[in-house]
Amino acid sequence: DIQMTQSPSSLSASVGDRVTITCQASQDISNYLNWYQQKPGKAPKLLIYDASNLETGVPSRFSGSGSGTDFTFTISSLQPEDIATYYCQQYDNLPLRLTFGGGTKVEIK
Amino acid sequence: EVQLVESGGGLVQPGRSLRLSCAASGFTFDDYAMHWVRQAPGKGLEWVSGISWNSGSIGYADSVKGRFTISRDNAKNSLYLQMNSLRAEDTALYYCAKDIGFGVGDATFDYWGQGTLVTVSS
């Protein structure tokens, strides 16, 4: 099975900072990589799909990039409402396999 | 407005069974694949199972294969998860999630329910 290594597991940054989270796949997954945001006590929310596509309604300060095995998620200017845990998720069709990264908890410094 | 409402969770003894349901509304249910994703207390997300729009394609995580069965009733706009031979490690909040496409291979979840808690303990 494909393993997803997400880092860091947590980070603390100031409002307005640029925040970067990485996800590394154990093998080539093309662009089959999504990013979700989960706020405490809430269900996850899709932010980025297929590595770099912004989901409708998601603020443009969120972005994603990468292909193959290395992926990056960026918040260009951290806002107080961005406090959450962020997960990457890969999918493989044949056979169907989905794996989430371990998550990155983002806090305000 | 898309709504996914899970039910059926509760406290169950190891080895027993439980059936989860997810009632969907606000979209054309039989146009989309659906999935179950779980989250153990204080832990990360784990995909459990997915089913295509017409039930023609189904997938399971290795951790539940042979014990859990996913199904759907498009006439009732409902998704189900039959969980047998439950173990302590199945304790989690179980989310129902809508796929962006009709096949399980799209595997991208654009709407989620609020979850139903399953606790497996004696």
In this predicted structure, what is the pLDDT of residue A91? 87
Separation between Cα atoms, residue A107 and residue A14, nearest integer Å: 8
Q: Does A77 have pLDDT greater than 80?
A: yes
- Residue whose structure tokens are 């294969």: B65
| Cα B25–chain centre separation | 16
Q: Average pLDDT over chain B, rounded to whole? A: 96
Query: Helix (H, G, I), strand (E, B), or coil: what is residue A19?
Result: strand
In this predicted structure, what is the pLDDT of residue B106? 81
In this predicted structure, what is the pLDDT of residue B7? 98
Q: Identify all chain A residues contacting B110, using CB atoms and an 8 Å cutoff.
A: 46, 55
Name the more confident of A94 and A53: A53
How do residues B48-82 score in pLDDT, each as one tens digit? 999 999 999 999 999 999 999 999 999 999 999 99
Q: Is A93 on the interface with B (CB under 8 A)?
A: yes
Enter the tokens of residue B25.
């509304």
How do residues B93-118 score in pLDDT, each as one tens digit? 999 999 998 887 789 999 999 999 99
Helix (H) or strand (E) holding A20: strand A19-25
Q: B85-104: b or e for each residue (b if 16 or more CB lie within 10 Å)?
A: ebeeebbbbbbbbbbbebbb
Q: Identify all chain B residues contacting A95, using CB atoms and an 8 Å cutoff.
A: 59
Of B44, B46, B107, the CB nearest to A91: B107
- Across the range A20-40, mean pLDDT stands at 96
- Across the range A52-74, mean pLDDT stands at 97
In this predicted structure, what is the pLDDT of residue B105? 78
What is the DSSP code string of A65-81? Answer: EEETTEEEEEESS--GG
- Surface of A (11-50) touching B: CB under 8 A: 32, 34, 36, 38, 43-46, 49-50
Name the more confident of B104 and B34: B34
Name the more confident of B104 and B90: B90
- Across the range A36-57, mean pLDDT stands at 97
Half-sphere exposure of B23 (CA within 13 A, CB side): 3
- Surface of B (51-70) touching A: CB under 8 A: 57, 59, 61-62
Closest residue in A to B63 (Cα–Cα): A97
Separation between Cα atoms, residue A58 and residue A40, nearest integer Å: 18
B19 CB contacts (<8 Å, ≥6 apart)? B8, B80, B81, B82, B83
In this predicted structure, what is the pLDDT of residue A94? 64
Separation between Cα atoms, residue B55 and residue B74, nearest integer Å: 10
